[in-house]
Structure 1
Amino acid sequence: MNDNQPNIQRDNQGVTEQVPFGFGTVHHNLTDLMPASSEVGFLWNNYLAANISTCYLTKWVNEATDPEIKSALQMELDAASNAWKETEGLLKSINYPTPMGFVVKEDIDINAPVLFSQSFKLLFTRMMQRMLIQFLVPAVTSSYRTDFQDYFHNQLKTAADRHRKYTEILLSKGILQKHPSIVQPHRAEKVLDKDFFGSYFGFFRNQRPLTAVEIGHIYSIMEIKQLIRQFHEGCCQVVKSEKVKILLLKARDIADKQLDSLGHILTEQDVPRPSISDILITDSTESGVSDRLILNLSTAVTAFMATSYGEAVSTVARKDIGVTMLRFMAEKLSFAKDAAELAIEFGWLEKMPQTVDRQQLIH
């Protein structure tokens, strides 16, 4: 090992680091290190994500009858339960309170009728893995303490492994559609015309064919949006609060409009739209999940959707697609704001740890 590379050792309690520098080795106890704000934020959100997943999956595992799907959902439940316990321990190790979160016995009715099909449950769980992976990448790169780095790195690796497993099961059952293929090019080419970027207003002129990256983003977003739409529509059947139902119906209507626009971009280029053929929602009108938990998960998946639009904007080259993604992202953020305000109205929104208000302390 190069003398300039870090050499990290830990004692049996996993709290001691030895880091060599040019003038010798520095010894310090992890419990003496102030956690960074980024570390606290990611631990807090990871706790809530694992907590919410544990609640939903407890019911979904109980309802599953297909052996492979039940095994996959149980795998995810075990991972979520372990992550919940681990993040609780990490927060306590830095003397931070844990979020109030949710309680399975209070927020889940295990005996309530089935609302979503098994196909939906595994498709949604796979989507949540994508959401978790998207969350964990900056968590890994914004952590400094080795115990936090190790935790998030392990979470990222195992989440990717589970996503691969769920994909294999869904493909083997014919439930999951692959992204469409494109005609294989004969050679690599350079862009020679600035018209490659197209126009901000696609209806004024013909746009160039879609690139593989653009098709991938649009297809992925439509897949995610279809699942979230089904989740909102199903929950509309069972929520008790009229205000929550109105909000979920608004989310469904936004999804319908956005799906239509994105689908039009694909069909203009003779690219097939993604579709879900299975009947994913039953006729149940009895809720097995609390309104508070439904609203919280709805807000979380909406934020994931907005982030997916943001990622697409940074990589698509056609101007009309970029503008469309920005507009749709703004609509999703506006919905998330409405959901957060409703949660505040009901007293359901938890406050994340924040820095002190110096002006308030002074005055």
Structure 2
Amino acid sequence: MDEKNLRLTSTEVGCLWLGYMNDSMAVCTLQYFLEKAKDKDIRPIIEFALSLSEKHMQAIAKIFKNEEMAIPVGYTETDVDVKAPPLFSDVFYLRYLKHLSGAGMKAYILGLSQAVRSDVRKYFGDCIDSSQELNEQVTQALLTKGLYIRAPYIPIPKQVQFVESPTFMGTIFGKNRPLHAMELIHLTANISTNAMGRVVLIGFAQVARTHDVREYFVRGQEIARKHIEVFSSFMKNDDLSAPATWDSEAMDSTIAPFSDKLMMQQITSLIAISMANYGAALGASTRVDVAGEYIRLMTEIAAFGEDGAQLMIKHGWLEQPPQAADRKELALSR
């Protein structure tokens, strides 16, 4: 069968649609970052990231056009003011790009694994390669500038061991074994993600135009702070250093560089990433006290995310994703 005649599957449509939305948001964000960045080592990396998002949008739009599918509105020049004063430091831009490249690779790997058509497979394969290159550039810049936040070190095993006691799983109360490497992977990553989210929320709360949006961002700051404290406490109890936070990377501007719609979408995206990260962490955590905290905190994030979605619906900002046909409605509407 000629692949050109293959229809896009629902998963291909979903991954491409979400990718277009995220890249349109990234284009607006990176245009502002590029206008504000002064560091000569950071500016070329922002330019590279911006060019990738612009290419991604063009590639997806071409696929949608060939399928006679509506191209999402997404985010446009009306959602960004590149002339607004700096809201974040140059260091934040670098840390943001580190997060962006990591999240991008995960999304593109999912897209590639679900793709059927050769053009869609090639698109996601190219995206993985370019995201890997972006991640390499950002990581090298962070290392060169002495800004890379490393995970804590643990002893290197000299021999293989097998678990012999059920106490390995731990207890909710009482003494537990030290954290193992897989648990530390996720604790470290989730502290860093919450640290970045908190900086974003601090800045956005200062500039949001709508009162209920400002209140939402302030609430999010407190949630991120609490989650950082919970995860850090597990590490500190084992005499391990938790990753540093960087609230000071938010400047004191009160002039909005982005629309409230775009800022809400940024936070919605961070919430979705956190939910996925917490789910993966839950599966990797064999200490019951650690797993229990992930379950509790996931419930809190889910409620926060639902409130955010309701807020976007209230203001008419939530663009509806493609969805399955309502067969009953089609039958009864005739």
TM-score grouping bracket, smaller chain normalisation = over 0.9
Unaligned ranges ≥5, structure 1: 1-26
Where do 4+ consecutive residues of structure 1 move more than 4 Å?
none
The residue number in structure 1 matching 2:314 is 345
The residue number in structure 1 matching 2:162 is 190
Paired residue type of 2:45: A
Aligned mates of 2:318, 2:15 — CA distance in 1 = 17
CA shift for structure 1 position 331: 1.3
RMSD between aligned alpha carbons? 1.1
CA shift for structure 1 position 29: 4.8
* Alpha-carbon displacement from aligned partner over 1:205-247 (angstroms, at most 9, x marks no partner): 1010010111111011101110001100111000100110111
1:305 and 2:274 correspond: yes
1:218 and 2:187 correspond: yes
The residue number in structure 2 matching 1:44 is 17
CA shift for structure 1 position 301: 0.9
* Alignment partner of 1:83 out of 56, 61, 86: 56
- 1:253-272 to 2 correspondences below 5 Å: 253-272=222-241
* Alpha-carbon displacement from aligned partner over 1:152-171 (angstroms, at most 9, x marks no partner): 11101211221121011011
CA shift for structure 1 position 278: 7.8
CA shift for structure 1 position 277: 5.3
Given that 2:195 and 2:246 are in contact with CA atoms closer than 8 Å, whether structure 1 keeps it comes out as no
What is the percent sequence identity of the aligned residues?
27
| Pairs aligned (count) | 332
Aligned mates of 2:149, 2:197 — CA distance in 1 = 17
TM-score by length of 1: 0.89
Paired residue type of 1:41: G
The residue number in structure 2 matching 1:334 is 303
Aligned mates of 2:276, 2:191 — CA distance in 1 = 14
The residue number in structure 2 matching 1:176 is 148
Which has the larger helix fraction?
A: 2
Q: Structure 1 residues 335, 244: CA separation in 2 closer, same or farther (over 3 Å shift)?
A: same
Given that 1:119 and 1:278 are in contact with CA atoms closer than 8 Å, whether structure 2 keeps it comes out as no
The residue number in structure 1 matching 2:121 is 149
* Alpha-carbon displacement from aligned partner over 1:79-120 (angstroms, at most 9, x marks no partner): 11111111111111211111111112x111111100000001
The residue number in structure 2 matching 1:316 is 285
Aligned mates of 1:279, 1:343 — CA distance in 2 = 28
Paired residue type of 1:50: D
* Alpha-carbon displacement from aligned partner over 1:137-186 (angstroms, at most 9, x marks no partner): 11101010000001011101211221121011011111121111101222
Paired residue type of 2:287: R
| Range 35-44 or range 250-259, more displaced | 250-259
Paired residue type of 1:146: S
1:28 and 2:2 correspond: yes
- 1:203-242 to 2 correspondences below 5 Å: 204-242=173-211
Aligned mates of 2:80, 2:20 — CA distance in 1 = 18
The residue number in structure 2 matching 1:288 is 257
Q: Structure 1 residues 330, 343: CA separation in 2 closer, same or farther (over 3 Å shift)?
A: same
1:158 and 2:127 correspond: no
Point out which structure has higher relative CO (alpha carbons under 8 A, 6+ apart). 2
Paired residue type of 2:182: V
* Alpha-carbon displacement from aligned partner over 1:260-299 (angstroms, at most 9, x marks no partner): 1111111000010111458301111111111110001110
The residue number in structure 2 matching 1:139 is 111
Given that 2:3 and 2:117 are in contact with CA atoms closer than 8 Å, whether structure 1 keeps it comes out as no
Paired residue type of 1:78: S
Aligned mates of 1:75, 1:276 — CA distance in 2 = 27
Aligned mates of 1:178, 1:93 — CA distance in 2 = 45
The residue number in structure 1 matching 2:33 is 60
Paired residue type of 2:312: A
Aligned mates of 1:224, 1:93 — CA distance in 2 = 37
Unaligned ranges ≥5, structure 2: none
* Alpha-carbon displacement from aligned partner over 1:322-360 (angstroms, at most 9, x marks no partner): 111122122111111111110000001011111111111
* Alignment partner of 1:100 out of 60, 73, 83: 73
Q: Structure 1 residues 300, 278: CA separation in 2 closer, same or farther (over 3 Å shift)?
A: closer
Aligned mates of 2:289, 2:176 — CA distance in 1 = 9
Paired residue type of 2:150: K
Given that 2:26 and 2:50 are in contact with CA atoms closer than 8 Å, whether structure 1 keeps it comes out as yes
- 1:111-122 to 2 correspondences below 5 Å: 111-122=83-94
Aligned mates of 2:260, 2:177 — CA distance in 1 = 46
Given that 2:86 and 2:251 are in contact with CA atoms closer than 8 Å, whether structure 1 keeps it comes out as yes
Which of structures 1 and 2 has the bigger CA Rg? 1
Aligned mates of 2:13, 2:46 — CA distance in 1 = 29
TM-score by length of 2: 0.97
